Structure 1
Amino acid sequence: MEVIGILLIGLFGLTAFDKAIRFERFYSELGKSPFLMNYAFITAIGTPLVELAVAVVLSIDKTRLKGLYASVFLMSLFTAYIYMLVNFSYFTSCLCSAAIESLSWQQHLIFNIVFLVLAIIGVLIEETNPQNQIPKS
C-alpha cells in the first residue's frame, strides 16, 4: 500500500508542479483542445490544484482512502481524455509533465491504465483494512 501511495503522490505532485510552473503553455494547449477549449481557463487553474489536493489527501493516513477514490476518478478522466484525443480528435497535444510528454500516445495510454489499476488496487486494499471499517452499533 505504501508503494502505491508514494507512486500516486509522486505522479500527482509532479504533474501539478509542472503544470503550475509552465502554466502559460498548459493554458495555451488546453485552448487548442477540441474537448476543452471552452473550459481552458478553469481547467488550467483547476487541474493542478486538484492534483495537488489529491496528493495531500493521499499523504494523510486518515484520508488515504478518499485520496485513492479521487485517484481512480482522476486517472479514469485522464485516460478517457487521451483515448478520445487519439481516436476522435484532429489535435493531439500532451499536457502532462515533461517526463510523460516523451511517451508515445500508446505508451501514455498504457502508463495511465497502469496507474488507474494501481489506484483501484489501493482502494481494494484500503477497503479491506480493518482500521477503515465502520464499527457496527
Structure 2
Amino acid sequence: MKKSQWLCELIVLLLALLFLYTAFSKLIDMRHWIRAIHNQVFPKSVDPFLVVLVPIVEIVVGVALLIPKWRRFGFTGSMILLSGFSIYILLGILHAFKRVPCGCAGVFQAMSWPVHLVFNVVFLSLTIIGLILNRKADHIKAVSKRYSTT
C-alpha cells in the first residue's frame, strides 16, 4: 500500500471514529443531548429535528466514510459538518450570540471553545486532505481500469 493510500485510510478511520463517537455519545446520553439542544441559540421549533437529525447525519457520514463506494459522499458530508460546527463555534467565540451555549458530546464538553475550534479546523484540514487523496486514488483506479480492458 502506498503512503498516500495508507494516509487516506488513516484519515478515514479518524473521521469515522470522530463522527460515530459523537453520534453515539449523544444517543447514549440522550437526556444531556436534549438539554444541550434546548440551550442552543436556534429557534425552539427546530429542537426536535436537531435532536434526531444531528446524530443520524453523523452516523451516516461516519459509515459512508468506511464504505469505499460512498467515501466521497462521506468526505463531503464531513466537510459540511465540520465547516458548519466550526462557523458556529467561531460565532460563539466572537460573541455573535447573547450567550455561549455548548451542545458538545462526550469528551468534547471539557474543551474550551477556542480549543474546540482548533480541533475542528485540524479535522477539517484532514477531511480536505483525505478528499484529495481519495480523488487521486479514484482517478488512478479509473485510468488503470480503462487501460486494462483494452
TM-score by length of 2: 0.83
Indicate yes or no: 2:117 matched with 1:109.
yes
Indicate yes or no: 2:35 matched with 1:28.
yes
Q: Write the letter of the residue equivalent to 1:25.
A: H
Deviates more, 1:90-99 or 1:3-12: 90-99
Superposed, which structure 2 residues align to 1:38-53 within 5 Å?
A: 38-53=45-60
Residue 63 (structure 1) aligns with? 70
Equivalences, count: 135
Indicate yes or no: 2:141 matched with 1:131.
yes
| Runs of 5+ unmatched residues, structure 1 | none
Q: Write the letter of the residue equivalent to 1:42.
A: F
Residue 20 (structure 2) aligns with? 13
RMSD across aligned positions (CA): 1.8
Q: Tell me how far 1:36 sits from its aligned partner.
A: 4.9
Q: Tell me how far 1:96 sits from its aligned partner.
A: 2.0
Q: Write the letter of the residue equivalent to 1:99.
A: V
- Does the 8 Å CA contact 1:31/1:38 hold for their aligned counterparts? no
Indicate yes or no: 2:84 matched with 1:77.
yes
Q: Tell me how far 1:85 sits from its aligned partner.
A: 2.1
Q: Tell me how far 1:25 sits from its aligned partner.
A: 1.8
- Name the SS of the counterpart of 2:117 in structure 1: helix
% identical aligned pairs: 32
- Does the 8 Å CA contact 2:41/2:101 hold for their aligned counterparts? no
Q: Deviations over 1:76-102 (max 9, x none)?
A: 111111112222112223222221111
Residue 89 (structure 1) aligns with? 97
Deviates more, 1:53-62 or 1:26-35: 26-35
| Runs of 5+ unmatched residues, structure 2 | 1-7
Deviates more, 1:84-93 or 1:3-12: 84-93
1: CA distance, partners of 2:117 / 2:89: 7
1: CA distance, partners of 2:93 / 2:71: 32
2: CA distance, partners of 1:132 / 1:79: 34
